[in-house]
């Protein structure tokens, strides 16, 4: 399922939303309920889905933006550092 990037015209919030290609674009900001527009992004290429390509932390939970929507430290974007507990 593709991830689309949106920006609110009122408050400027930028966020991503995963939705089917057949779904209508979002129209309302989740923060201020203002009008949003879907942004054109460069795409993501391809994503490895196997666990051998995912980062797994000490607690053995998948720590991957692609799998859970957040990094191991809770960020919604890549931090380019190994998962918490790994060196």
| Gap between the Cα atoms of 56 and 10, Å rounded | 38
| Gap between the Cα atoms of 24 and 20, Å rounded | 9
Question: Is the distance from CB of 13 to CB of 31 less than 8 angstroms?
Answer: yes
Looking at the fold, whether 30 and 59 belong to one and the same domain comes out as: no
pLDDT at 59 over 60: no
pLDDT at 2 over 90: no
4-8, 33-37, 76-80: lowest mean pLDDT where? 76-80
Q: Is residue 83 part of a domain?
A: yes
- Residue 68, domain extent: 49-87
Q: Is residue 55 part of a domain?
A: yes
Confidence of residue 22 (pLDDT cuts 50, 70, 90): very high
Model's pTM, two decimal places?
0.48
Rounded to an integer, the average pLDDT of 45-51 is: 60
Looking at the fold, whether 56 and 28 belong to one and the same domain comes out as: no
pLDDT at 49 over 80: no
């Amino acid at each position: 399922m593709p991830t689309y990037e949106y920006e609110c015209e009122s408050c400027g919030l930028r966020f991503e939303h995963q939705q089917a290609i057949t779904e209508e674009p979002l129209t309302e900001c989740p923060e201020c309920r203002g009008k949003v527009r879907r942004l054109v992004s460069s795409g993501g290429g391809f994503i490895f889905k196997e666990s051998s390509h995912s980062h797994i932390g000490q607690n053995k939970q998948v720590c991957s933006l692609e799998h859970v929507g957040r990094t191991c430290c809770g960020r919604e974007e890549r931090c380019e550092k190994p998962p918490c507990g790994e060196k």
